[in-house]
């Protein structure tokens, strides 16, 4: 089970540092928008807007009449209130939609759902006819170096057809830089981990031994892109 309180805590702490460190997520957002066949929508709903990385890309690249931004973290509101028409603070798994949208979009968020498949069904129901659900999330190989060393699983099972999947490696000077990157982007929201001096040293040594290339250490990202048209599935 995803600890939603931990998700809130991690992401509210990283709102200020997220965009300067979320290199992969920025590319994912741009690619997601480029994959949309249509660029004009009446109403758009964005899930998990955080500091507005995708929200700004939507503003720059899409035409719309209204844009509703959502996040489970209340502080996200102040980051998007100048861009979005309205902000709804709610867990997307708990939200009840009182209207329908033409585009529901989300970047790097839905992997934090406990039940992704019923969330997708709910989102499809919240689309107007011919509406589009477009989102990215991370697959099983995401941050696999960290998962291996800390021995935790974060399985995401999506029964919808995957549109596109990628593996991206980011390179860092040291394992400590990897940890810093993870902290600044908030993507360490799955599990709390406290190091002692000796476990930190052990982590650094293991990371260097297992995940080095050309004098650098790497961290894997595994983005998945899904675009579902409402008419494709009904
Ligand atoms: C990695 S950030 C992605 C930010 C942004 N969408 C982007 O394009 O980079 C994930 C965001 O999703 C939010 N989030 C996580 N679980 C959520 C949920 N169940 N409902 C709504 N927002 C959620 C987090 O608070 C965080 O702000």
Cα of 3 vs centre of ligand 1, distance in Å, is: 14
146 phi and psi angles, rounded to 5 deg = -70, -45
Question: Of 192, 195, 194, 193, nearest to 6 (Cα)?
Answer: 192
- Summarised one tens digit per residue, pLDDT across range 154-185 is 666 666 666 899 999 999 999 999 999 999 99
Structural domain spans, the chain: 1-234
Which residue, judged by its Cα, is nearest atom 13 of ligand 1? 48
Which ligand 1 atom minimizes the distance to the CA of 12? 25
CB 80 near ligand 1, within 6 Å: no
- Distance from C-alpha of 227 to C-alpha of 32, rounded to nearest angstrom: 9
Report how far ligand 1's centroid is from the alpha carbon of 212 (Å).
30
pTM more than 0.85: yes
Cα of 14 from ligand 1 centre, angstroms: 11
pLDDT digits (tens, 9 = 90+) for 49-74: 999 999 999 999 999 999 999 999 99
> Which CATH number is associated with domain 1-234?
3.40.50.150
175-185 and 197-210 are packed helices; what angle lies between their axes, rounded to 10 degrees?
Answer: 100
Task: State the distance from the centre of ligand 1 to the C-alpha of 220, rounded, in angstroms.
Answer: 20
| 152 close to 190: Cβ distance less than 8 angstroms | yes
Query: Which pLDDT score, from 0 to 100, does residue 155 have?
Result: 64
19 ligand 1 Cβ < 6 A = no
* Any atom of ligand 1 within 6 Å of the Cβ of 134: no
């Amino acid at each position: 089970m995803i600890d939603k309180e931990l998700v809130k805590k991690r992401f509210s702490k990283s709102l200020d540092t997220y965009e300067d460190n979320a290199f992969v997520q920025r590319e994912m957002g741009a690619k997601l928008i480029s994959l949309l066949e249509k660029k004009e929508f009446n109403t758009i709903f964005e899930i998990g807007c955080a500091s507005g990385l995708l929200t700004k890309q939507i503003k720059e690249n899409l035409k719309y009449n209204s844009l509703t931004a959502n996040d489970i973290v209340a502080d996200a509101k102040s980051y998007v209130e100048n861009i979005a028409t309205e902000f709804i603070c709610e867990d997307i798994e708990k939200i009840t939609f009182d209207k329908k949208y033409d585009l529901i979009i989300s970047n790097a968020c839905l992997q934090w759902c406990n039940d992704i498949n019923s969330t997708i069904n709910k989102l499809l129901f919240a689309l107007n006819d011919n509406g589009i659900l477009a989102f990215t999330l991370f697959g099983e190989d995401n941050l696999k170096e960290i998962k291996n060393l800390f021995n935790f699983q974060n399985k995401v099972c999506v029964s919808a057809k995957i549109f596109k999947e990628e593996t991206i490696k980011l390179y860092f000077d040291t394992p400590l830089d990897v940890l810093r990157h993870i902290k600044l982007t908030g993507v360490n929201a799955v599990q709390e981990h406290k190091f002692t001096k000796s476990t930190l040293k052990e982590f650094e040594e293991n990371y260097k031994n297992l995940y080095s290339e050309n004098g650098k250490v790497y961290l894997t990202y595994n983005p998945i892109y899904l675009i579902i048209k409402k008419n494709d599935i009904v």
